[in-house]
Amino acid sequence: MVDFNRFTLANGLRVLVHEDDTTPMAVLNILYDVGARDEEQDKTGFAHLFEHLMFGGSVNIPSYDEPLQRVGGENNAFTSNDITNYYITLPAVNLETAFWLESDRMLSLAFSEKSLETQRNVVCEEFKQRYLNQPYGDVWLKLRPLAYKTHPYRWATIGQDLKQIEDAKMEDVKAFFKKHYNPQNAIMVVGGNVKIEEVKVLAEKWFAPIPTGEKYVRNLPKEAVQTEGRKDTVITDVPLNAIYMAFKMPARIDSEYQAFDLMSDVLSQGQSSRLYHSLLKEQQLFSDIHAYISSSIDEGLFVIEGKLVEGVSVENAEAAIWAELDKLKAEEVTDVEITKVKNKSESIMVFAEMSLLDKAMNLAYYELLGDAATLNTEIDKYLAVTPARIQQAAKATFTKEQCSTLYYLTTQLTTQDA
Residue 247 has pLDDT above 90, yes or no: yes
Q: Specify whether the CB–CB gap between 77 and 54 falls below 8 A.
A: yes
> Of 13-22, 36-45, 102-111, 302-311, where does mean pLDDT reach its minimum?
102-111
Taking Cα atoms as reference points, which of 134, 147, 127, 324 lies closest to residue 232? 147
Question: What's the pLDDT score for residue 415?
Answer: 40
Q: Is 5-208's fold the same as 230-410's?
A: yes
Q: Is 277 exposed, middle or buried (0-12, 13-18, 19+ CB in 10 A)?
A: middle
d(C-alpha 321, C-alpha 209), whole Å: 57
| Percent of the chain whose predicted confidence (pLDDT) is above 70 | 98
d(C-alpha 306, C-alpha 86), whole Å: 33
Question: What's the pLDDT score for residue 273?
Answer: 96
Residue 412 has pLDDT above 80, yes or no: no
Q: Where are the beta strands (DSSP E) in 138-208?
A: 186-192
Question: What's the pLDDT score for residue 211?
Answer: 95
Rg of the chain over all Cα atoms, to the nearest angstrom: 23
Annotation: CATH topology of 230-410: Cytochrome Bc1 Complex; Chain A, domain 1 (3.30.830)
Question: What's the pLDDT score for residue 199?
Answer: 98
pTM score of the predicted model: 0.94
Predicted confidence (pLDDT) per residue in 337-351, tens digit: 999 999 999 999 999
Taking Cα atoms as reference points, which of 279, 267, 284, 288 lies closest to residue 319? 279
Residue 61 has pLDDT above 90, yes or no: no
CB atoms within 10 A of CB 200: 16
Q: Specify whether the CB–CB gap between 71 and 116 falls below 8 A.
A: no
Burial 243-272 (b: 16+ CB within 10 A, else e): bbbbbbbbebeeebbbbbbbbbbbbbbeee
Residue 83 has pLDDT above 90, yes or no: yes
pLDDT band at 240 (very low <50, low <70, confident <90, very high): very high
d(C-alpha 50, C-alpha 187), whole Å: 17
Q: What angle do CA 13, 16, 18 make, to 5 degrees?
A: 160
DSSP-H helix ranges across 23-169: 46-53, 65-70, 95-108, 113-126, 139-147, 162-166
Residue 332 has pLDDT above 80, yes or no: yes
CB atoms within 10 A of CB 145: 17
**254 half-sphere exposure, CB direction, 13 A CA radius:** 18
- Identify the residue with better confidence: 62 or 27: 27
- Identify the residue with better confidence: 414 or 324: 324
Residue 34 has pLDDT above 90, yes or no: yes
Mean pLDDT in residue range 370-393: 97
Mean pLDDT in residue range 157-171: 91
pLDDT, the chain, mean: 94
Question: What's the pLDDT score for residue 411?
Answer: 83
Residue 416 has pLDDT above 70, yes or no: no
- 300-308 and 242-249 strand pairing: antiparallel
CB atoms within 10 A of CB 103: 23
d(C-alpha 171, C-alpha 216), whole Å: 19
- Give CATH superfamily name and number for 5-208: Metalloenzyme, LuxS/M16 peptidase-like (3.30.830.10)
- Distances 123 to 82, 162, 164, 178, 296 between C-alpha atoms, Å: 19, 9, 11, 21, 23
Where in the chain are the domains? 5-208, 230-410
Assign residue 45 a region (left: φ > 0; alpha: ψ between -120 and 50; beta: otherwise).
Answer: left
3-state secondary structure of 296: coil
Q: Is 73 exposed, middle or buried (0-12, 13-18, 19+ CB in 10 A)?
A: buried
